[in-house]
Amino acid sequence: MENIREEVKELQIGMKIRRLRQERRMTLQDLADATGLSKPLLSQIENEQVIPPLATLLRISKAFKVDLQSFFQEEGTNEKCVLTRAGESRRMHRRTTPDHDSPPYAYHSLAFGKKHRNMEPFLVEFEKRRWHEDLQVCHEGEEFLFLLEGELEFHYGGKVMTMEPGDSVYYDSSEPHGYAATGENNSEAFCLLSRRADAGLACVKSRRRNADSGQKGHN
């Protein structure tokens, strides 16, 4: 866990988020309203106490109207071509879920040194575990995943699909989705994300509608 925190500190994602928020004269509550995320969670992210998953970073980047790579890129690199050698990718972990002390997956940014890119390539390592609703996320854009090793259970909306090495899936990521490694060992996949202007907002609104419906049902 200490090594994970050191990697996060090196990326300084929390500091970048705070700087972007302050530059826009936004309060934490303003950012919470814009992203659909809670104010305490955003505070923990800014203070490097919580490691945000990709879905959370995508919501924050949408609110700031910046590219996702803003949180991963090195300062001052404007190269048109960036080569990432084996072992040079930036490794991040999604935060833990209530029923596990370890994160469900780690993702390696494969193009963190390239500014102003339109695609987000990642190598994702999924830890073996049973499916849980907390593994489900939604975010703007579209996503492609190619399974390299292991077995994955892919949940998309109300569908459940089993994936084996060589299988791939392409989907609108504004729909709630998630993965769980179900084989004997952990799984590894290549993932490519692309942004779309309105999908993230639609996802947030959908969740708010569901929450409102749940509250009305109890009134």
The correct answer on CATH 2.60.120.10 for the domain covering 90-194 is yes
Confidence band of 102 (pLDDT split at 50, 70, 90): low
Confidence tier at 201 by pLDDT (50, 70, 90): very low
Q: Could you give the CA distance from residue 207 to residue 212 in angstroms, rounded to a whole number?
A: 9
Top mean pLDDT of 24-28, 62-66, 125-129, 162-166 is at: 162-166
Query: How far apart are the C-alpha atoms of 90 and 79, rounded to whole Å?
Result: 18
Angle (nearest 5°) at CA 208 between 40 and 170: 100
Q: What is the pLDDT of residues 77-90, one digit of tens each?
A: 566 777 777 766 65
| CA 43/CA 209 separation, integer angstroms | 25
Name the percent of the chain lying above pLDDT 90. Answer: 27
- What does the angle CA 121 – CA 126 – CA 131 come to, to the nearest 5 degrees? 125
**Please, where in the chain does CATH 1.10.260.40 lie?**
2-73
Q: What residue has token string 């780690």?
A: 106
Taking only the tens place, the pLDDT of each residue in 25-53 is 899 999 999 999 999 999 998 888 887 87
pLDDT at 200: 39
Q: Share the mean pLDDT of the chain.
A: 77
Q: What is the pLDDT of residues 150-191, one digit of tens each?
A: 999 999 988 999 999 999 999 998 899 999 998 888 899 999
HEC sequence for 139-183: CCCEEEEEEEECCEEEEECCEEEEECCCCEEEEECCCCEEEEECC
pLDDT at 96: 45
Q: What integer is the mean pLDDT of 127-144?
A: 83
| For residue 57, pLDDT beyond 50 | yes
Percent of residues, the chain, with pLDDT higher than 70? 69
Q: How far apart are CA 132 and CA 179, in angstroms?
A: 9
User: What residue spans in the chain does CATH classification 2.60.120.10 cover?
Assistant: 90-194
CA distance 64 to 109: 21
- Mean pLDDT across 199-203: 42
Asked if residues 138 and 178 have their Cβ atoms less than 8 Å apart, the reply is no
pLDDT at res. 74 = 57
Quick one: pLDDT at residue 91? 56
pTM: predicted TM-score of the whole model, two decimal places: 0.59
Looking at the structure, give the CATH architecture of the domain made up of residues 2-73.
Answer: Orthogonal Bundle (1.10)
Spatial distance between the Cα atoms of 175 and 184, rounded to a whole number of angstroms: 28
